A and B are shown apart, each in its own frame.
Chain A
């Protein structure tokens, strides 16, 4: 029997995403990403009214509810060639922004920072030195010595009590942990502060969406928010100002805490810059529409192949045929019938489970391709696509972040360093800073448009007889999300969701080309195969939508360890 070491102290079953890596000579030799849950929820939509689809799709996933709702109404609107009133676009955009900011903050502080931050080491920190360091990086008012000393004391009392609570399962003292105690203490302090900002973002979504999670204000054709500045129960000025003040508070946190933290931690781990690039083909879709048709956007989309920024090709409108005609999903290594690559309009969801066979079928996730290429999606794709197109806002924050990180690392850093594990974190923080500027902009657009006397929020849809097809996309926190549907006489006859984690976590295709998760792990260092912290770092950098179990084995295939990671959301 091969030796098995289970590190996970919480006795749970395998996570919903399983990553197997074989390790040889301190590096990952091969990797397999396997979705362990069948997600055929699309089948529940068959025969339903397309106007109700969004209510169901936002239950696909409990964490990224909003993104599936928005994408669904866009898909139906595309099928009907239905325009959306300006107010509705702005209200949707503000929800999209608040949701994304919430995701990015939580992802960094609560789901992945502890891959880099050693909580126990923070006990050795000098709060005064920590405060001096923090104040040299940022004007944030809550980096004072008293607050930091209080955090350290709280941590000490946890440890003295013989338990670390939420921090119990970390890789404390791991040889790959390199931050000085002061930086670790600062990060723990910001971990706690981030909880307050998660809540603020949530409030913005609740005010506009009526409820969170699972917003209630969407409709095919717009939103259901009544706008009436004189009515208590409608969207009025006090509510708009409350949204503004919440967004302003988040902007301060992101610019003064999140972005500087990611730059500094990234710079202190500069030896990690070469790892985790994997697939250098990138796909991002445009988002935050500025007109009723969706032809102008504040977030740029497009494709990059082989890391060649000069060859960027834009995706420029809802309904852009460059996107519509080039997406397929394959099932060669997935537990579905057949192995053909199909366009999503013709997509099938016919499960056929065999067993985990690294050379055969091994995942519930399909393998999406764009022009038959493996693509990486997510904030890094979005930032690179924008940067390559000379998009001013992207350049402003990307250059700022690279400059800040470069100053700490004492090196000149350009966008080429972004391909990789750390780059995915840095790009997410850059995107968050961009979104804060855009929150301000879209809030003003909404208020000014209402000021002109336009209170329209909804264009009623009409369904033709016969068949129509449509697709909608959204640049979700984890990247390009698209929904595709076929409507027959006003009822749904096919529905397929191609989600960001499918793009990134998909298995090999019929040509044996690994998916982005798999490719990014090849060559990763692993100092201690029983505690594969470095593997977690790279997997977490994608912001996986699934709780994840990681399984390391030696080159002969003997199990070394099985660990379970913190949970994400989709």
Chain B
């Protein structure tokens, strides 16, 4: 059975093959980890045109249109766990679908599992999925990452870069790295 292409609108760029998504609420403390890493990636690296790197906030179900049709997905997020804060956890597609990681504690769940299952039913599921999650210290209403979570940023950046290499779409370090656009951390 074939489904009408979701990337078929006239004059539009084809859907990216690899989508890297930072999830989380930038106003909820360590929940900003996903958006933070997405913006560090954008500032430090150049990506091939087949790769899209985005801070999508906490879109819940609205994640679907951003990832439908991609072959390879990488999510960066906070995950609940009994491991110490700052621990980096990695989950592949089957683990996410069968034994989902415990919930984020933010105003919205990501809807990750629901989105992936729906795309599977619609015949538009990705071939590979990696979720890299960090265990937060807390996700209270405040701006800024706590120290153990901040310390995980470089590890997770390296994880994502390695995953892009494995997917066959390697990123290149920028000749002149930029400052990441962390607008929410500017104090009034």
Least distance between A248 CB and chain B CB atoms (Å) = 12
Residues of chain A with a CB closer than 8 A to B123's CB: 154
| A54 CA to B56 CA, complexed, in Å | 17
CB within 8 A of A567: which of B61, B141, B142, B143? B61
Give the residues in chain A near B141, CB-CB below 8 Å. 38, 40-41, 43-44
Can you give 11 contacting A-B residue pairs, CB < 8 Å?
A60-B107, A62-B57, A63-B58, A63-B108, A110-B118, A166-B117, A192-B3, A195-B118, A567-B108, A569-B61, A569-B108
CA distance A106 to B3 in the complex (A): 19
Does B167 interact with chain A (Cβ within 8 Å)? no
Is A482 an interface residue, CB under 8 A from the partner?
no
A546 to B120, CA, bound (A): 25
Q: How far is the CA of A62 from the CA of B11 in the complex (A)?
A: 29
Say yes or no: A63 contacts B117, CB within 8 Å. no
Whether A44 and B143, one on each chain, are in contact in the complex, defined by CB atoms closer than 8 angstroms, is yes
- A239 nearest in chain B by CB position: B11
Q: In the complex, which residues 27-78 of chain A have their Cβ closer than 8 Å to any Cβ of chain B?
A: 37-41, 43-44, 46-49, 55-56, 59-63, 65
Considering the complex, give the chain B residue whose CB is closest to the CB of A47.
B188
Specify which chain A residues have a CB less than 8 angstroms from the CB of B111 in the assembled complex: 567
Contact partner, B6, options A63, A195, A242, A567, Cβ 8 Å: A195
The 7 lowest CB-CB distance pairs between A and B, nearest first, are A62-B58, A166-B117, A199-B65, A47-B188, A48-B188, A150-B1, A62-B57
Judge whether A491 is part of the interface by a CB distance below 8 angstroms: yes
Question: Which of A83-141 touch B at CB < 8 Å?
Answer: 102, 106, 110-111
- Report Cα–Cα, A11/B113, bound state, in Å: 13
The number of residues on chain B lying at the interface, defined by a beta carbon within 8 Å of a beta carbon of chain A, is: 46
CB of B168 closer than 8 Å to a CB of A: no
CA distance A483 to B122 in the complex (A): 39
- A residues 522-568 touching B (CB-CB < 8 Å): 546-547, 566-568
Chain A's interface size range is 35 or more
A391 within 8 A of B: no
Contact of A65 among B57, B102, B103, B114 (CB under 8 A): B57
Which residues of chain B are within 8 angstroms of A47 by Cβ–Cβ distance? 188
With the chains together, A202 CA to B120 CA distance in Å? 21
Say whether B118 contacts A62, CB under 8 Å. no
Number of inter-chain CB pairs below 8 Å: 135
Query: A217 an interface residue at 8 Å Cβ cutoff?
Result: no
Q: How far in angstroms is the closest Cβ of chain B from A499?
A: 12
Any A CB within 8 A of the CB of B74: no
B-contacting residues of A (Cβ < 8 Å)?
Answer: 10-13, 16, 37-41, 43-44, 46-49, 55-56, 59-63, 65, 102, 106, 110-111, 150, 153-154, 158, 165-168, 192, 195-196, 198-200, 202-203, 213-214, 238, 242, 245-246, 491, 546-547, 566-569
A491 proximity list for chain B (CB < 8 A): 188
Q: Are B114 and A566 within 8 A (Cβ)? A: yes
Query: Is there an interface contact between B108 and A547, defined as CB atoms closer than 8 Å?
Result: yes
Cβ contact of A238, chosen from B11, B56, B183, cutoff 8 A = B11
Instruction: Write the nearest CB–CB distance from A14 to chain B, whole angstroms.
Output: 10
A259 to B183, CA, bound (A): 42
Please state if A213 and B57 are interface contacts (CB–CB under 8 Å).
Answer: yes
Interface residues of B in 122-174 (CB under 8 A from A): 122-124, 141-143
List B residues 1-42 near A (Cβ within 8 Å). Answer: 1, 3-4, 6, 9-12, 25-27
> Looking across the interface, which residue of chain A has its beta carbon closest to that of B32?
A59
A203 to B8, CA, bound (A): 12
**Chain B residue with the shortest CB-CB distance to A249:** B9
Q: Does B64 lie at the interface of the complex (its beta carbon under 8 Å from any beta carbon of A)?
A: yes
The answer to whether A567 and B4 have CB atoms under 8 Å apart is no
Q: A566-B114, A567-B60, A568-B60 are in contact. Are A62 and B184 (CB under 8 A)?
A: no
Residues of A within 8 A of B10 (CB): 242, 245
Query: A41-B27, A166-B117 in contact; A59/B188 too (CB < 8 A)?
Result: no
Least CB distance, B60 to chain A, in whole angstroms:
5
- Chain A residues whose C-beta falls within 8 Å of the C-beta of B26 in the assembled complex: 59
Contacting residue for B68 out of A63, A199, A238, A568, CB 8 A = A199
Most buried by A among B65, B103, B122: B65
